[in-house]
Homo-oligomer: A and B are copies of this chain.
């Protein structure tokens, strides 16, 4: 399993792992597909490296292999889903499909999910809508790592927002962004490389900006204060209050609206300190563009604005203006051809899991 791994072999392996953990094969396929899609797109922090955490969650019983996913309430254009404390990918995929069905019939569909878990990359679900020429929306709340503007403690998650928009000949627009200035993955990368953090990325236990990644990661782990700053950085001078507002908005739509955990109520523990189900929430949407404008016209204009941006003059020293999703589409094409490079630590982890579960390590 050294070097590069084929995404097909990797997916098959992950399916077997989850099936062995008692997850129904269709649900295992969805989960593996979301994880491997992250690796393909170059977002390795949300890829198969997560397998260990999910296996552990299933073993501890805080995540259920065969959840009862229920539609609690619905209208022709909305639904509330209970994820039954199962894998976030399974609830997420079900919810996004339901949003798209509603949009297909009524023009618009929104589905909020409570009692779920980590669902992987937000962009997987928004991009599902592209298959039917709809706009897709996907958001989730997450573990508290982000400090509000002027705050010391992490009360919000990196709470990503993803919006996917269909195009004609150009690649789709796929915005998929944490509402924080960076993610925990970036902190870990800087720690490994022993590089100083940029000012405006994270704060120490007093809530003051620091360049020390190790300190920030330890403080976050032990909840000693500080954390990642919202998009826009510290204070209000560079718009940190806007990133904070977007993070809070995601928590409102994903936590408050479906009645899931929000703020510091996510990943609760019992009185003895034992983890309880995470109660993560998600929010999905689908929108038919032809409710507003003929699809072909819409796609022509999307191609036009993309080309206008790409062809516009570059800043001194720059060679290329990117459209959102473009880098990830290019990475996925490359990794489909050449295989996915896995970090040695992740390879060790997956080998250990294979051995523990008696899954053939055919990679």
For residue A167, give the distance in angstroms from its CB to the closest CB of chain B. 10
Knowing A108-B110, A200-B238, A259-B293, say if A153 contacts B313 (CB, 8 Å).
yes
- Which residue of chain B has the shortest Cβ distance to A258 in the bound complex? B292
Q: Is A225 an interface residue (CB 8 A)?
A: yes
Among A203, A241, A313, the one with the most B-chain Cβ atoms within 10 Å of its Cβ is A313
| B318 and A207 form a contact (CB under 8 A) | yes
Q: Is A121 an interface residue (CB 8 A)?
A: no
Knowing A245-B324, A291-B75, say if A309 contacts B232 (CB, 8 Å).
no
Provide the residues of chain B in CB contact with A225, threshold 8 Å: 313
Q: Is A23 an interface residue (CB 8 A)?
A: no
Copies of this protein, total: 2
Interface segment, one of A247-255, A329-337, A352-360: A247-255
Knowing A150-B320, A243-B231, say if A106 contacts B309 (CB, 8 Å).
no
| A257 and B298 form a contact (CB under 8 A) | yes
- Which residue of chain B has the shortest Cβ distance to A199 in the bound complex? B238
- Which residue of chain B has the shortest Cβ distance to A75 in the bound complex? B107
Partner of A309, one of B155, B314, B316, B322: B155
| B77 and A263 form a contact (CB under 8 A) | no
Knowing A175-B246, A232-B181, A324-B245, say if A151 contacts B78 (CB, 8 Å).
no
Provide the residues of chain B in CB contact with A298, threshold 8 Å: 256-257
For residue A23, give the distance in angstroms from its CB to the closest CB of chain B. 28
Partner of A150, one of B75, B252, B321: B321
For residue A208, give the distance in angstroms from its CB to the closest CB of chain B. 5
Q: Is A10 an interface residue (CB 8 A)?
A: no
Provide the residues of chain B in CB contact with A272, threshold 8 Å: none
Q: Is A193 an interface residue (CB 8 A)?
A: no
Provide the residues of chain B in CB contact with A75, threshold 8 Å: 106-107, 291
Provide the residues of chain B in CB contact with A78, threshold 8 Å: 107-108, 291-292
User: What are the nearest 4 A-B pairs in CB distance?
Assistant: A207-B315, A152-B313, A150-B318, A78-B291
Chosen A-B contacts, 14 in total, with CB atoms closer than 8 Å, are: A73-B291, A75-B291, A77-B106, A77-B107, A108-B108, A150-B319, A150-B321, A151-B313, A181-B239, A225-B313, A244-B324, A251-B305, A256-B302, A257-B289
